[in-house]
Amino acid sequence: MNIAVIIPMIVFLAIIFAIGYWSSTKLTAGSSFINDYFLGSRELGGFVLAMTMVATYGSASSFLGGPGTAYTMGFGWVLLAMTQVVTGYFVLMILGKKFAIMARRYDAITMIDFLKARYQSNWVVILSALSIIIFLFSAMAAQWIGGARLVESLTGLSYNTALFIFAVSVLVYVTIGGFRAVAVTDAVQGAVMFIGTLILLIAVIIAGGGIPNIMNDLINENPNLVTPFGTDGNLSMAYVSSFWILVGVGVVGLPQITVRAMSYKNSKSMHRALIIGTVVTGFIMLNMHMIGIFARPILPGIEIGDKVIPLIALETLPAWAAGIVLAAPMAAIMSTVDSLLILVSSTIVKDVYLNYIKPDADLKAIKRISFGITGALGVVVFLLALDPPELLIFLNLFAFGGLEAAFIWPVVLGLYWKWGNKYGAIASMIVGITSYVALHFYNNANGELFGVHTVTFPVVLSFIAFIVFSLLIGRKAYDYNVKTIK
C-alpha cells in the first residue's frame, strides 16, 4: 500500500490525539466531574453540537455500506438514503427546548436519568440500562470490526494489528478526555467527512466524463438504475418509505443521539446546530450515495459493496488526496464508536453503579471508576472483536431499530404527554423490543410483512402499548412544573 495514502491518515490521528489530550486538561477537578466527563458540562456550542450529532449518526454504513448498495441498486437507494435529511433537524426540533429545560431541572446526565426522574421507577431504569448495555455494546463491537477491516484494507496490515491500532486510537482519547473529547473530535471528524465527500464527488464526476455521460452509461447498462425502483424493480414504495422511520424520525429514540440533545449550552447553540446539522447531513448523504452510483460505469463489476468507496477513491484521486478522502469513513467509524463507548460507560457508571451499587461514592472513587470502566470496556470490545462471537453479531442486528422501538415513546411522550406514566413506559419498552425481535425472525423467514422494514410495526405497537397502559393503570396527570428532587 502506498505510503502517500497513509500519511494523511497519520496526521489525522495525531490531530485527534491532540484534541483528546486538550480535553483531558479541561476536565474540572470539582464535584461536577460526572457532569463534565459524561456530558461536557452542557457547554457545547452550535457547530460542535451539529457535527457531533451528524458524526455520531453517520457510521460505517453511510460511508461504505450505503454507497456500496447505491452502486448495485442505482438511484432508488440514493432516494432511500435521503430520508436521513430529516434527522438533521427533527431530533433537535422535537426534543428541543423542553428536553433541555427538563434535563437541567432533573439534573440529568444520561437519557436514563431523564427517564428515571420522569417516571420515578426502578424498572424503567433497569430495563433501559440493560437494553443500552447489551445492544449498544454489540453495535460498538460491530463498528470496531468495520474500522479494523478498513484499516486492514487501506494499509495492508493484518486484521489483528489493524484492530489494535484502531482500538488504541479510540480508547486513549475517549478515556482521558470523556464526552468533551468525543464531541470535539466528532467536529473534526465531521469536517473531514464533509470535505472528503466533496473532493471525491468532483473527482468521480470528472473521471466519468460528466454527469450526462455517466447517466448514459447507466441507462445503457440497465435503465432501472435511474428509476426509484432498484436494479430489478424490487425496491417498493412502501419499503423505501418505511426508512423514514428507521433512519429518519425514529432516530429521536436512539440514546447516543438523545443524550446530545441535553448537552448544549443555550438556545443560540441549538438554533445554529439546526441549520448546520441539516446542511451537513443532507450534503454528506447526497454526495456519498451519488458517488456510489456514479462509480459504477467507472469501475464496473465490484462484488463487495464495502469496497466501492476505497477502490473508487484510489482509482480517481492522486494517492495523497485518496488518503484524505479515506480518512472520512475512518472518521465516521471512530466518531460513532467513541460516542457509543462513552454512552455505555456512562450507563454503567451513572445509571447502575451510582444508582444501585454505591450511591455515596466519593469524588475520587467516581473518577477512578469512570476512567476504569471506560478503559475496561474498550479492552473487552477489543478482545471480542479479535474473534467476534456469533451472539455479538446477532445482537447487533437489533441495536438500531430495537432501541428506537424501545425508547422513542418513553422519551417523546414522556416529554409532551402528561398522562404518560411508568406502566406505559415499561410496557412500551418491552413491547418495542420483543416485537422487533419476533418480527425480525418472521421477516427473515417470510419476507417483509406488508413490504415494509421491520422497524415499522414495533414502533406502532410500542406507541399503542404506551398509551393503553398509561391510561389503564395508575392513571395520573404528570405535573411538569414540579421540581423533582433527584
Partner 1 sequence: MKETDWRFKIANREARIGLGLAIFNFIWWFGFAYGMGSRPVEEYTYIFGLPDWFFYSCVVGFLLIVVLVIVIVKFFFVEVPFDEEEDER
What is the contact surface with partner 1 in residues (CB under 8 A)?
75, 78-79, 82-83, 85-86, 88-90, 93-94, 96-98, 100-101, 104-105, 210-212, 214-215, 219, 223-224, 226-229, 237, 241, 244, 248-249, 266-268, 271, 274-275, 278-279, 282, 286, 416, 479-481, 483
Which CB sits closer to partner 1, 364 or 483? Answer: 483
Which CB sits closer to partner 1, 79 or 314? Answer: 79
Helical packing angle, 122-131 and 422-446, nearest 10° = 30
Residue that is written with C-alpha cell 438533521 in the block: 88
Which CB sits closer to partner 1, 163 or 245? Answer: 245
Minimum gap (Å) between residue 211 Cβ and partner 1? 3
In contact, 368 and 395? CB cutoff 8 Å: no
Which CB sits closer to partner 1, 174 or 285? Answer: 285
Which CB sits closer to partner 1, 214 or 399? Answer: 214
Which CB sits closer to partner 1, 261 or 324? Answer: 261
Minimum gap (Å) between residue 399 Cβ and partner 1? 24
Q: Which of 337, 379, 9 lies closest to 168, judged by CA?
A: 379
Which CB sits closer to partner 1, 138 or 278? Answer: 278
Minimum gap (Å) between residue 300 Cβ and partner 1? 19
Strands, E assignment, 358-421 = none
Minimum gap (Å) between residue 387 Cβ and partner 1? 41
What HEC string does 172-239 produce? HHHHHHHHHHHHHHHHHHHHHHHHHHHHHHHHHHHHCCCHHHHHHHHHHHCHHHHCCCCCCCCCCHHH
Which CB sits closer to partner 1, 212 or 359? Answer: 212
In contact, 333 and 59? CB cutoff 8 Å: yes
Which CB sits closer to partner 1, 21 or 244? Answer: 244
Burial of 429 (0-12, 13-18, 19+ CB in 10 A): buried
Which CB sits closer to partner 1, 211 or 438? Answer: 211
Minimum gap (Å) between residue 249 Cβ and partner 1? 6
Minimum gap (Å) between residue 461 Cβ and partner 1? 21
Instruction: Give the Cβ contact number of residue 380 at 10 Å.
Output: 12
- The grid cell for 440 is 425480525
Minimum gap (Å) between residue 205 Cβ and partner 1? 9
Minimum gap (Å) between residue 115 Cβ and partner 1? 18
Minimum gap (Å) between residue 232 Cβ and partner 1? 14
Minimum gap (Å) between residue 127 Cβ and partner 1? 26
Strands, E assignment, 180-321 = none
- The grid cell for 315 is 482509482
Cα–Cα distance for residue pair 32/34, rounded to 1 Å: 6
Residue that is written with C-alpha cell 424503567 in the block: 124
Cα–Cα distance for residue pair 180/176, rounded to 1 Å: 10
- The grid cell for 409 is 415513546
In contact, 250 and 408? CB cutoff 8 Å: yes
Cα–Cα distance for residue pair 34/417, rounded to 1 Å: 30
- The β-bridge partners of 44 are 264
Q: How many CA atoms lie within 13 A of 140 on its CB side?
A: 30
Helix (H, G, I), strand (E, B) or coil at 331: helix
CB under 8 A, 24+ apart: contacts of 127-130 = 127/426, 127/429, 127/430, 128/255, 128/351, 128/406, 128/407, 128/410, 128/429, 129/347, 129/348, 129/351, 129/352
Minimum gap (Å) between residue 30 Cβ and partner 1? 18
Cα–Cα distance for residue pair 40/113, rounded to 1 Å: 16
Which CB sits closer to partner 1, 15 or 286? Answer: 286
